[in-house]
Amino acid sequence: MAGVAVRVYGVPKTIADCFKYRSSIGLDVALEAMKEAWTAKKLDLNLLAHYAQVCRVQKVMQPYLEMLVL
């Protein structure tokens, strides 16, 4: 992307990274990524919870994830 190497590990890790860097890329991008993955059924909630804990964004993601799932 723009001459910079970007590693993509998987959908759950990418979403957790979006929330981690939400101040740089915007919260709307992170929310859209989560919503797109959920509607495409490409989101493993167990892996997302794991990567959210690793990236230390589980408290930030929790309200948005609850609204998506419910």
Q: Are 48 and 16 in contact (CB under 8 A)?
A: yes
Residue 50 lies in a domain: yes
pLDDT of residue 68: 86
Q: What is the pLDDT of residues 18-46, one digit of tens each?
A: 999 999 989 999 999 999 999 999 999 99
pLDDT of residue 1: 55
Residue 3 lies in a domain: no
Residue 35 lies in a domain: yes
pLDDT of residue 52: 96
What domain range includes position 54? 11-69
Is residue 4 exposed (0-12), middle (13-18) or buried (19+ Cβ within 10 Å)? exposed
Give how far the C-alpha of residue 66 lies from the chain's centroid of Cα atoms, to the nearest Å.
14
**% of the chain at pLDDT higher than 70:** 96
H or E element in which residue 30 lies: helix 27-39
Read off the pTM: 0.84
